[in-house]
């Protein structure tokens, strides 16, 4: 016996040590005071930081979910959920970006793809948790019964028996409902509106609908003769906000914001969208009760200012707490006015209650003494009375253990009454819980008996560290108490309390108290067990005594032998006893839920693990039927399992879900046996909560998804293969690079996707699959369509956990564009070289007089060719090349041009006319060659980014006239007129290059015009940001065919003038390059063949971006 006691004590101890206490937070208290303060969210720094990065949230609303969210006639979405979301957004400080689609199926799929961040209304379903995190529910939908206004025989759901009830057959709740009330005559309709109409027209007696939808339809279709008759199922169906799974932060933030919505705000919203008088809250009072209330408009209430969290005054002196919330609800539902008596201590309150100066106590326990002057309502709060000791005090298990101690208790409390009624303890009375705890902490007393909630609150609040909750005393129940001479008020209060839904109760207690008892062995269970063990022991002992006596009488000599046998039997009995105790213990302690139920679902016996699965106590659970905790959607499956059970004697294992106390669904795996006892069949079930397991699986899935997303959205080409070269995952970039479009390649073989895969590649794959890592910086990859791609790649194996190669990962980059650019550059350089060569030869042939010069040039060209070779390797050499070419080529030309001038000027002595003419030819040819070289150099500079940009302020008018002046002589020679129409305009750009462009255009115009004029027009356009300069001539014009070739390099258009007009074929090419890349503008041409041409250039008035087109050196 001692051993078993020890075990029990140990277990009890375990239970006690597992008590975890968290008091109500100060913010919760502040938020729920009757005087509402502006709520604060108390976001963590991480949450604030997260919000910084996510200021706009994309929200999808269901457009067909009245009255919570629905599209109105203007196509806008409105409803209660819309209002709630807007309120939340305001609280959090985010902007809502509404998703354009309101069709559920489409928006749900978009949300799965994360095109939507949150879905405003989404019922929590485990299947959806793969994609969404859910906030706490904020819409609670009650199923209500609607009848015609005049219907007088339907007041509660049971009254529907025998009635014709309109139902939409496909709705989930219909079948369970029919099981619950089989006598209902279903009248099936297609839509809820049809159902309402059926009742309105008298075709059905009643319709069952969600209250919101019913209200909406009734209002919209003006079905005035309908009323809400009763509530069928209260607040059981809920809607939460579905948040994309990868944003758990947002779900937490939204939960905090939801918590900040005060009951008043929520009820304002409900009033806006839901029927004003929800039938759940209407308390039907008898006329006598009504009259009594009218005669007693104000009820005086006495409260305990420190009975935290049940009732107390907060820092502002407001009456708050669980009881305060209930009182507020009763006040609204009963039309009573409660007036809280100010500034009284609890003993003063009790004193006044005795003499009926206080009418009602909202939150008290029963004591014998109080029974004399108070009546009690039904209990509405469960609390626990506990013994508190100092941490180092010896273990105690019950009040009996401390009867010799100095025990403090709050004066006039139910705890005092309890001690008086149940023990011989002479307690030391204190005025408040606070005082008692301080006394205990300081050593003045040895124990304190009080309510666990209040005690824990004050221990925390006072920051006392040397106390512990030592043992439970009793399950306390708290009631509303009313002066003895007002029994009628108790009846009214009870009616009011009965309207408080389970959901409302949960909300209140969640708000105020989060005292969580870790499930262990309930004390009651332990006591029951103690009795059984004791009884067993007694019977055994009695039996053995009788037997012993008989033995002694009969065979003395066999005593020894029999004693052995006796011992064995004793042992056997003891073993049996042990075993039974052990079995019971196993049953109680089993982490697997065990339940014995009847065939109709009544629960007969369950262990704590079972009730824990659904978040209830064993006692609570035993009140329920198996069907109460089975979601309707599983009914068919259940029937099948039952059938299997009857046929085979066992069922399962299979998976389903249970309804948790707070309405969420808990995934479980169950199996069981059919047993028969005394002719009745029972089912033994083993039930395992697999939500953790599912969580692990989900976490695994999540990790996989993260990996997949990471790879898919990586900006590189990545593909992962298994060891059969089947795709495991591939990045979007990969699909794009390899032209795979949207086809699904996952699971398909690489060689099936690329049948043209050359053997070389297959070999590389094989090598990597055996452990090699290979890579290549530039690899040509011929396509099936004959094009060639260049690829940079790396392939390496990846390993399974155990080390074997699981497959390969391929990183690759298509570098075709880069490669092409390189090739093109190469091509350009070669072309430049060819150009110089070609032109040089041309000049050589035509101009014998310059033979010597050309030889020099040839040498320079060789130097150029040589430099060009070096240039291909290092870009730096190019600038040296440009410099040297410019110097080396121009220096001798200077002499040719200069001295031919000097000679023809006769500065070196007289020359005859023929000589002068030849000298002029040399001079002209030299100048032509120089301009050719200058153009080539300029182009080369632009292309290599070596062309300097010099921005300066100057007058547009002036630069245009400078260009005209330069061409004036040529024009005059051809008797052409050059006209200009240009404003004085200060611009900021590269003057020299603009002048160069204008000279090119003007000289072309002059060259290709034989008679008429050349007109320059300049003006500001685009509000002065751009200047437009056009050069128009009346020359030969350009044919349509030639237009596209106009700005190409080394193209000279065929024309009758070609042979007579010198030109390099570089002028327009260079001009466009200068305009585009140096002046940041553009040039265009229009022309009518034989009539004239117009070239127009547009450049920024202020050149801001000197780097444009000019690579830095």
Partner 1 sequence: MKTVLVVEDNDDNFLLITYSLKHAGYAVIRAESGESGVELALQERPYCILMDINLPGIDGIETTKRIRASEINGTIPIIAITSFALRGDREKILAAGCNGYFEKPIDPNTIVEQIQTLIAD
Contact between 952 and partner 1 (CB under 8 A)?
no
Alpha-carbon distances, residue 33 vs 24, 27, 90 (angstroms): 13, 10, 22
**1010 in contact with partner 1 (CB under 8 A):** no
Among 891, 1010, 1041, 1105, binds partner 1 (CB under 8 A): 891
**What are φ and ψ of residue 311, in 5° steps?**
-155, 140
Q: Quote the distance between the C-alpha of residue 21 and its chain's center.
A: 31
Q: Is 706 in the site for partner 1 (CB under 8 A)?
A: no
Cis status, amide bond into 309, omega within 30 of 0 = yes
In angstroms, the CA 764 to CA 738 distance is: 18
Min separation Cβ 879 and partner 1, Å: 6
The answer to whether 674 touches 649, Cβ cutoff 8 Å, is: yes
783-822 residues in contact with partner 1 (CB under 8 A) are none
Q: Does 907 bind partner 1 (CB under 8 A)?
A: yes
Q: Is the peptide bond before 448 cis (omega within 30 degrees of 0)?
A: no
The rounded distance, in Å, linking the Cα atoms of 1056 and 1090 is 12
Interface region with partner 1, contact rule CB under 8 A, candidates 220-228, 390-398, 530-538, 895-903:
895-903
Cβ proximity to partner 1, 930 vs 1043, nearer residue: 930
Applying CB under 8 A, which part among 155-163, 290-298, 374-382, 880-888 lies near partner 1? Answer: 880-888
Q: Is 1105 in the site for partner 1 (CB under 8 A)?
A: no
Contacting partner 1 within 624-643 (CB under 8 A): none
Q: How far is the CB of 959 from partner 1 (least distance, A)?
A: 17
Pick the closer one to partner 1 by CB: 489 or 897: 897
CA angle 756, 759, 763 (to 5 degrees): 130
Find the shortest distance in angstroms from Cβ 963 to partner 1: 17
Phi, psi of 713 (to 5 degrees): -95, 5
Number of chain residues interacting with partner 1 (CB under 8 A): 24
Say if residue 653 is preceded by a cis peptide, omega within 30 of 0.
yes
Give the list of residues 6+ apart from residue 512 with CB closer than 8 angstroms, or none. Answer: 24, 28, 32, 309, 310, 321, 322, 325
Binding mask 922-951 for partner 1 (x = CB under 8 A): --------x---------------x-x-x-
Per CB under 8 A, the segment of 539-547, 723-731, 821-829, 899-907 that binds partner 1 is: 899-907
In angstroms, what is the minimal distance from the CB of 806 to partner 1? 56
Report the C-alpha gap between 244 and 256 in whole angstroms.
17
Q: Closest separation between CB of residue 51 and partner 1, Å?
A: 49
The least CB distance from residue 887 to partner 1, in Å, is 5
Q: What is the DSSP string of 788-842?
A: EEEEEEEEEEEE-TTSSEEEEEEEEEE-HHHHHHHHHHHHHHHHHHHHHHHHHHH
882 interacts with partner 1 by CB under 8 A: yes
Binding part of the chain for partner 1, among 490-498, 791-799, 821-829, 893-901 by CB under 8 A, reads: 893-901
CB of 1073 to partner 1, least distance (A): 17
SS3 926: helix
Residue in 879, 1019, 1026, 1084 binding partner 1, rule: CB under 8 A = 879
The distance of closest approach from Cβ of residue 980 to partner 1 in the complex, given in angstroms and rounded to an integer, is 24
Contact between 899 and partner 1 per CB under 8 A:
yes
Gap between the Cα atoms of 708 and 714, Å rounded: 10
Choice between 256 and 941, CB closer to partner 1: 941
| Interface with partner 1, residue 887, by CB under 8 A | yes
Interaction of residue 908 with partner 1, rule CB under 8 A: yes
Q: Does 897 bind partner 1 (CB under 8 A)?
A: yes
Question: Which residue, 456 or 963, has its beta carbon nearer to partner 1?
Answer: 963
Residue closer to partner 1, measured from CB, 833 or 886: 886
Nearest approach in angstroms of CB 883 to partner 1 is 5
* Min dist. Cβ of residue 927 to partner 1 (A): 9
Q: Record the tokens describing residue 743, joined without a space.
A: 């086809």
967 binds partner 1 (CB under 8 A): no
Stretch that binds partner 1, among 27-35, 204-212, 457-465, 875-883 (CB under 8 A): 875-883
Helix (H) or strand (E) run with residue 553 in it? helix 523-554
Tokens of 644: 């299997």
Provide the minimum distance between the beta carbon of 1081 and partner 1 in the complex, in angstroms, as a whole number: 21
Partners of 479 in beta bridges: 364
Which region among 226-234, 591-599, 620-628, 881-889 touches partner 1 (by CB under 8 A)?
Answer: 881-889
Of 886, 1017, 1039, 1055, the residue at the interface with partner 1 (CB under 8 A) is 886
Q: SS3 helix, strand, coil % of the chain, rounded to 5? A: 45, 25, 30
Task: Please spell the DSSP secondary structure of 122-184, one letter per residue.
Answer: E---GGGGGTEEE----EEEEEEEEEETT--S-SSGGGGTTSEEEEETTSTTHHHHHHHSTT-
Please name the residues in contact with 924: beta carbons below 8 A apart, sequence gap of 6 or more.
none
Element at 255 (helix H, strand E): helix 248-260
- Residue from 46, 172, 637, 905 in contact with partner 1 (CB under 8 A): 905
108, 244 Cβ separation under 8 angstroms: no
Strand partners, 280: none
Give least dist CB 907 to partner 1, A.
5
Q: Does 479 bind partner 1 (CB under 8 A)?
A: no
901: contact with partner 1 by CB under 8 A: yes
Considering only the stretches 98-106, 194-202, 572-580, 896-904, report the one whose residues sit in contact with partner 1 under the rule CB under 8 A. Answer: 896-904
Shortest approach of partner 1 to residue 892 CB, angstroms?
Answer: 8
Is residue 207 within 8 A of residue 199, CB to CB? The reply is: yes
Per CB under 8 A, 919 contacts partner 1: no
Binding of partner 1 at residue 348 (CB under 8 A)? no
Residue 515's nearest CA partner among 19, 1071, 1098 is 19
Furthest CA-CA distance within the chain: 175
Q: Rg for the chain (alpha carbons), in Å?
A: 48
Task: Produce one character per residue of 87-116: b if its CB has 16 or more CB atoms within 10 Å, e if not.
Answer: bbbebbebebebbebbebeebbebbbeeeb
Between the CA atoms of 569, 575, 581 and 583, what dihedral angle is there, to the nearest 10 degrees?
A: -120
1076 binds partner 1 (CB under 8 A): no
DSSP symbol at 344 = -
Residue written as token pair 């349509």: 1040
Give the bridge partners for 118, in sequence order: 59, 243
Nearer to partner 1, 518 or 950 (CB): 950
Asked if 890 touches partner 1 (CB under 8 A), the answer is yes
Burial letters 619-644, b for 16+ CB under 10 A, else e? eebeebebbebbebebeeebeebeee
User: Is 898 an interacting residue with respect to partner 1 (CB under 8 A)?
Assistant: yes
Query: What is the smallest separation between the CB atom of 890 and partner 1, expressed in angstroms?
Result: 6
- Tell me how far, at minimum, the Cβ of 990 lies from partner 1, in Å: 13
As measured in angstroms, the least distance from the Cβ of 931 to partner 1 is 11
- Give 776 or 902: the residue with its C-beta nearer to partner 1: 902
Binding residue for partner 1 (CB under 8 A) from 5, 586, 589, 902? Answer: 902
Question: Which is closer to partner 1, CB of 670 or CB of 897?
Answer: 897
The encoded tokens of residue 992 equal 């020299």
Contact status: 883 vs partner 1 (CB under 8 A): yes
Q: How big is the chain, counted in residues?
A: 1113
The span of 177-185, 260-268, 847-855, 876-884 binding partner 1 (CB under 8 A) equals 876-884
The minimum distance between CB 1007 and partner 1, in angstroms, equals 22
Q: Which residues bind partner 1 (CB under 8 A)?
A: 879, 882-883, 886-887, 890-895, 897-899, 901-902, 905, 907-908, 930, 946, 948, 950, 1113
């Amino acid at each position: 016996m001692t051993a078993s006691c020890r075990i029990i004590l140990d277990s009890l101890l375990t239970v006690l040590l597992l008590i975890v206490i968290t008091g109500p937070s100060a913010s919760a208290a502040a938020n729920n005071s009757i005087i509402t303060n502006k709520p604060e969210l108390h976001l963590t720094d991480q949450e604030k930081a997260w919000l910084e990065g996510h200021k706009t949230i994309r929200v999808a609303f269901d457009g067909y979910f009245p009255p919570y969210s629905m599209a109105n006639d203007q196509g806008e979405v409105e409803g209660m959920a819309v209002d709630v979301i807007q309120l939340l957004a305001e609280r959090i400080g985010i902007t809502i970006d509404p998703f354009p689609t309101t069709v559920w199926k489409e928006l749900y799929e978009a949300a799965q793809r994360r095109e939507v961040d949150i879905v405003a209304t989404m019922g929590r379903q485990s299947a959806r948790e793969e994609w969404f995190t859910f906030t706490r529910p904020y819409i609670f939908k009650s199923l209500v019964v609607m009848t015609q206004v005049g219907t007088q025989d339907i007041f509660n759901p049971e009254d529907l028996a025998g009635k014709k009830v309109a139902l939409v057959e496909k709705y989930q709740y219909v079948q369970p409902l029919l099981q619950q009330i089989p006598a209902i005559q279903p009248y099936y309709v297609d839509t809820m509106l049809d159902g309402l109409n059926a009742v309105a027209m008298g075709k059905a007696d009643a319709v069952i609908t969600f209250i919101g939808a019913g209200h909406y339809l009734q209002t919209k279709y003006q079905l005035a003769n309908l009323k809400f008759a009763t509530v069928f199922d209260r607040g059981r169906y809920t809607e939460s906000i579905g948040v994309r799974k990868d944003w758990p932060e947002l779900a937490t933030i939204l939960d905090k914001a939801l918590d900040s919505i005060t009951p008043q705000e929520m009820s304002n919203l409900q009033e806006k969208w839901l029927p004003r008088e929800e039938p759940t809250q209407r308390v039907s009072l008898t006329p006598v009760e009504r009259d009594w209330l009218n005669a007693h408009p104000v009820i005086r209430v006495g409260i305990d200012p420190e009975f935290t969290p049940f009732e107390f005054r907060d820092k502002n002196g407001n009456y708050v707490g669980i009881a305060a919330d209930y009182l507020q609800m009763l006040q609204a539902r009963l039309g009573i006015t409660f007036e809280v008596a100010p500034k009284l201590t609890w003993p003063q309150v009790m004193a006044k209650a005795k003499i009926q100066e206080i009418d009602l106590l909202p939150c008290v326990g029963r004591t014998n003494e109080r029974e004399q002057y108070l009546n009690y309502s039904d209990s509405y709060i469960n609390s626990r009375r506990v013994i508190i000791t100092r941490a180092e005090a010896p273990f105690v298990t019950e009040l009996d253990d401390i009867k010799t101690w100095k025990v403090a208790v709050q004066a006039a409390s139910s705890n005092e009454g309890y001690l008086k009624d149940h023990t011989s303890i002479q307690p030391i009375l204190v005025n408040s819980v606070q005082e008692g705890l301080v006394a205990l902490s300081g050593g003045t007393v040895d124990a304190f008996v009080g309510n666990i909630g209040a005690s824990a609150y004050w221990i925390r609040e006072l920051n006392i560290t040397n106390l512990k909750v030592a043992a439970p005393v009793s399950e306390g129940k708290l009631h509303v108490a009313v002066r003895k001479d007002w029994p009628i008020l108790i009846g009214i209060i009870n009616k009011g309390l009965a309207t408080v839904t389970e959901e409302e109760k949960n909300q209140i207690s969640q708000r105020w108290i989060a005292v969580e008892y870790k499930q262990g062995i309930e004390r009651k269970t332990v006591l029951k067990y103690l009795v059984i063990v004791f009884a067993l022991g007694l019977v055994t002992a009695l039996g053995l005594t009788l037997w012993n006596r008989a033995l002694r009488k009969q065979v003395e000599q066999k005593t020894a032998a029999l004693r052995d046998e006796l011992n064995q039997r004793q042992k056997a009995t003891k073993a049996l006893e042990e075993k039974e105790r052990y079995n019971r213990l196993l049953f109680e302690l089993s982490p697997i839920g065990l339940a014995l139920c009847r065939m109709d679902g009544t629960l007969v016996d369950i262990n704590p693990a079972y009730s824990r699965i659904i978040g209830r106590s064993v006692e609570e659970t035993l009140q329920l039927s198996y069907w109460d905790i089975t979601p309707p959607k599983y009914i068919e499956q259940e029937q099948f399992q039952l059938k299997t059970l009857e046929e085979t004697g066992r069922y399962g294992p299979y998976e389903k879900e249970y309804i948790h106390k707070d309405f969420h669904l808990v995934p479980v795996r169950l199996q069981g046996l059919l047993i028969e006892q005394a002719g009745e069949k029972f089912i033994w079930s083993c039930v395992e909560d697999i939500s953790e397991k599912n969580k692990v699986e989900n976490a695994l899935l999540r990790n996989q998804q993260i990996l997949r997303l990471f790879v898919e959205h990586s900006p590189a080409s990545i593909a992962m293969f298994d060891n059969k070269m089947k795709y495991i995952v591939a990045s979007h970039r990969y699909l794009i690079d390899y032209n795979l479009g949207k086809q699904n390649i996952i699971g398909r073989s690489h060689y099936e996707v690329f049948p043209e895969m050359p053997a070389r590649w297959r070999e590389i794959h094989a090598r990597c699959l055996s452990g090699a890592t290979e890579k290549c910086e530039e690899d040509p990859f011929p396509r099936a369509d004959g094009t060639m791609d260049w690829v940079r790649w790396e392939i390496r194996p990846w390993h399974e956990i155990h080390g074997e190669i699981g497959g390969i990962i391929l990183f690759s980059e298509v570098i075709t564009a880069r490669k092409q650019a390189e090739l093109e550059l190469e091509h350009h350089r070669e072309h430049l070289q060819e150009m110089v060569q070609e032109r040089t030869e041309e000049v050589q042939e035509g101009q014998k007089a310059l033979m010597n010069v050309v030889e020099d040039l040839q040498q320079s060209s060789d130097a150029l060719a040589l430099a060009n070779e070096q240039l291909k390797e290092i870009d730096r050499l190019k600038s040296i090349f440009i410099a040297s070419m410019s110097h080396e080529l121009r220096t001798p030309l200077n002499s040719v041009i200069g001295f031919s001038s000097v000679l023809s000027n006769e500065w070196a002595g007289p020359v005859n006319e023929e000589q002068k003419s030849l000298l002029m030819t040399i001079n002209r040819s030299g100048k032509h060659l120089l301009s050719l070289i200058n153009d080539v150099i300029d182009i080369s500079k632009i292309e290599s980014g070596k062309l300097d940009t010099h921005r300066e302020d100057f007058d547009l008018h002036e630069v245009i006239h400078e260009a005209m002046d330069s061409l004036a002589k040529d024009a005059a020679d051809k008797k052409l007129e050059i006209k200009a129409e240009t404003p004085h305009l200060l611009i900021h750009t590269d003057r020299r290059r603009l002048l160069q462009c204008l000279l090119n255009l003007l000289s072309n115009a002059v060259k290709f015009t034989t008679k008429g004029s050349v007109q320059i027009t300049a003006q500001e356009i685009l509000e002065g940001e751009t200047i437009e300069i056009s050069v128009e001539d009346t020359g030969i014009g350009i044919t349509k065919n030639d237009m596209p070739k106009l700005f190409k390099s080394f193209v000279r258009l065929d024309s009758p003038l070609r042979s007579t007009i010198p030109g390099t074929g570089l002028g327009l090419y260079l001009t466009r390059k200068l305009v585009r890349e140096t002046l940041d503008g553009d040039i265009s041409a229009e022309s009518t063949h034989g009539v004239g041409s117009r070239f127009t250039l547009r450049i920024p008035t202020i050149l801001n971006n000197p780097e444009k087109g000019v690579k830095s050196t």
